[in-house]
């Protein structure tokens, strides 16, 4: 395994992704967690010091204990990581107010192990302010750019390597090969991080942790909670009870399909709670999006808690927390004490239920969760399900929510998804859905004047929902969706396509 020390770089998750793409397991940890004891415990094959926004001369700049430079475990410093290494070992880092940012041509002067198989001239990507003016004893420059004399340096005797540029971003053309050289030539890592081995080990671990005790889990139908549920189910069988709350704001047939696949086919123990009335009654006449969210959130907690407290002697709570949540909640500058603040997806549980958390996906990225789901036999429909917001269709009906309007939106949404799937776009877009507007417009159907609802088609591409672009769906697909909605869904006579990106728009309409 490789330890990545988080000095606060925005690219840390990318470093981890790259390492794992080489089928090598890695963890991102805050600097203060890197103690001799921790190294003895986890026995990493190598350490990567990440970049970061700080200057090593800054007052609160993040630091690690320099014992890691003793040569026992290979170290690769990236950007700030290299500067920290140089400074700690007696070299000089020059302060600079000006940043070097963007592409640069890298000239490799020494084909050290890190640069094996890489062209002498190649493109790299820089993002730094300070630069190195003097290397510590034992180091040599291995690559330069026009503006940066020390673009790479190493001391192979001590297993120390450094890059001023970022090998983890795609703009560094040979970045993957450089990281591969570090992992395999320098650290002698083995390619044994596969979802098969992860699944086996995790199921075994869960079995050991939970033993013959009972666990509960809030199932939303999304890929994360479904994969977490199936893993725990494989470990402890019927001692896991999943709770699925149908809030009346789900899409067409959603609860039915979930029941079919998870209960019937995978034999999981799931309590389906039909709580539509509990949600729709307090939502009556509510039009403000934030009020809707608050009501839906509060009712959810009440319904979930009530159901959970019926499961006597449960000691564990399973959750589908993912690695990005964990990374975001650990601090580059903090100590081990504020490392992991779990994200509670299911709100506050009753005070008297002191449940211990089981989060089997907490070291996985979203795409790894999908691979894992497929590996352990989760049906394709669930593995590839697009994200769906907790408040469901409630925030896709503009204005007040009624059962009638829910039915209209549900039917229109089902048609839209059907056509998107048929056209092969379901996995290509991040989300695709229908929105019901609170206005009516005039139309003509047959010989009759109509005055009916408007549906908006929303489809976006995105990597992480932070930014998104409207999907360039073919006109024919849009045409088919529009035709079918107007023909098949009573109460709709107009369909429009939303061509707003995020920012300035958001993905959802409320
Ligand atoms: P926006 O609309 O903010 O959405 O661009 C970004 C992503 O978050 C989802 N979303 C929610 N998910 N509860 C959720 O669980 C919510 O209240 C909520 N609002 C938005 C949205 O579907 C998109 O994937």
Taking the complete model, does pTM exceed 0.85, yes or no? no
pLDDT for residue 334? 43
CB under 6 Å to ligand 1: residues? 293, 387, 389-391, 431, 465, 502, 506-508
Cis peptide before 53 (omega within 30 of 0): no
d(CA 400, CA 294): 15
pLDDT of residue 343: 36
CA 468 to ligand 1 centroid distance, Å = 12
Respond yes or no: is residue 168 known to be catalytic.
Answer: yes
Å from CA of 16 to ligand 1 middle? 25
Tens-place pLDDT, residues 32-42: 999 999 999 99
Helix-then-strand count for the chain, H and E: 14, 20
Is 166 noted as a catalytic residue in this protein? yes
pLDDT value at residue 217: 97
pLDDT given for residue 332 in this prediction: 52
Distance (Å) from CA 507 to ligand 1 centroid: 7
Query: What Å distances lie between residue 380 and 231, 234, 365, 375, 386, CA to CA?
Result: 16, 18, 18, 11, 12
What residue owns the CA closest to ligand 1's atom 3?
506
Whether 26 is catalytic? no
| pLDDT value, residue 363 | 87
Give me the pLDDT at residue 100, please. 84
Q: Tokens for 200?
A: 């086996």
What pLDDT does residue 504 have?
Answer: 94
> Residue whose CA is closest, atom 6 of ligand 1?
465
pLDDT at 353: 66
- Crossing angle (nearest 10°) for helices 475-488 and 403-422: 140
- Quick check: 439 and 432 in contact, CB under 8 A? no
Cβ 266 vs Cβ 219: under 8 Å:
no
Residue 100 neighbours by CB under 8 Å, 6+ apart: 126, 127, 128, 129, 131, 147, 148
Tens of pLDDT, residues 251-287: 999 999 999 999 988 999 999 999 999 999 999 999 9
Ligand 1 atom nearest to CA at 508: 2
Please state the atom number of ligand 1 nearest to the C-alpha of residue 505.
5
DSSP H helical ranges for 25-97: 36-42, 80-88
Residue with tokens 């896991």: 240
Please give the pLDDT value at position 446: 86
**Which of the following is catalytic: 26, 79, 124, 242?**
79
A 10 A CB-CB count for 66 gives: 12
Q: How far is the CA of 378 from the centre of ligand 1 (A)?
A: 24
The residue ranges of the chain whose pLDDT is under 70 are 328-353
């Amino acid at each position: 395994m490789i330890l990545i020390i988080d000095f606060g770089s925005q690219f840390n998750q990318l470093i981890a992704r790259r390492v794992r793409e080489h089928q090598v397991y890695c963890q991102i940890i805050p600097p203060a967690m890197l103690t001799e004891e921790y190294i003895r415990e986890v026995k990493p094959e190598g350490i990567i010091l990440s970049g970061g926004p700080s200057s090593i001369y800054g007052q609160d700049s993040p630091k690690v204990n320099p014992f890691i430079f003793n040569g026992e475990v290979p170290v690769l410093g990236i950007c700030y990581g290299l500067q920290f290494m140089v400074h700690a070992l007696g070299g000089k880092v020059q302060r600079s107010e000006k940043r070097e940012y963007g592409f640069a041509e890298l000239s490799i002067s020494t084909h050290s192990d890190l640069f094996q198989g890489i062209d002498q001239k190649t493109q790299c990507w820089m993002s730094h302010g300070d630069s190195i003016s003097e290397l510590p004893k034992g180091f040599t420059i291995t690559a330069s750019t026009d503006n940066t004399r020390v673009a790479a340096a190493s001391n192979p005797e001590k297993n120390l390597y450094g890059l001023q540029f970022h090998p983890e971003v795609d703009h560094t053309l040979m970045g993957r090969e450089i990281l591969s050289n570090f992992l395999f030539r320098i650290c002698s890592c083995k390619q044994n991080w596969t979802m098969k081995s992860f699944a086996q080990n995790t199921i075994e671990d869960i079995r050991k942790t939970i033993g013959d005790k009972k666990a509960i889990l809030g199932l939303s139908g999304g890929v994360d909670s479904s994969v977490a549920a199936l893993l725990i189910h494989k470990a402890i069988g019927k001692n896991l009870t999943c709770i699925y709350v149908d809030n009346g704001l789900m899409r067409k047939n959603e609860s039915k399909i979930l029941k079919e696949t998870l209960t019937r086919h995978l034999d999981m123990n799931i309590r389906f709670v039909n709580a539509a009335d509990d949600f729709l009654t307090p939502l009556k006449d509510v039009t403000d999006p934030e009020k809707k969210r608050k009501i839906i959130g509060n009712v959810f907690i009440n319904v979930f808690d009530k159901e959970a407290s019926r499961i006597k002697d449960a000691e564990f709570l399973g959750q589908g927390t993912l690695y990005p949540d964990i990374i975001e909640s650990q601090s580059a500058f903090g100590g081990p004490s504020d490392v992991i603040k779990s994200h509670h997806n299911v709100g506050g549980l009753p005070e008297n239920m002191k449940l211990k958390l089981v989060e089997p996906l907490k070291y996985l990225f979203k795409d790894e969760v999908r691979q894992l789901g497929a590996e352990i036999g989760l049906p394709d429909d669930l593995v590839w399900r697009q994200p769906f917001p907790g408040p469901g269709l409630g925030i896709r009906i503009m204005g007040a929510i009624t059962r009638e309007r829910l039915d209209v939106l549900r039917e229109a949404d089902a048609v839209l998804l059907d056509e998107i799937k048929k056209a092969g776009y379901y996995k290509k877009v991040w989300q695709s859905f229908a929105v019901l507007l609170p206005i009516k417009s005039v139309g003509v159907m047959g010989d009759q004047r109509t005055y009916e609802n408007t549906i908006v088609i929303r489809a976006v591409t995105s990597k992480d929902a932070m930014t998104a672009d409207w999907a360039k769906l073919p006109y024919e697909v849009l045409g088919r969706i529009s035709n079918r909605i107007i023909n098949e869904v009573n109460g709709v006579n107009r369909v429009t396509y939303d061509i707003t990106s995020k920012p300035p728009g958001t993905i959802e309409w409320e």
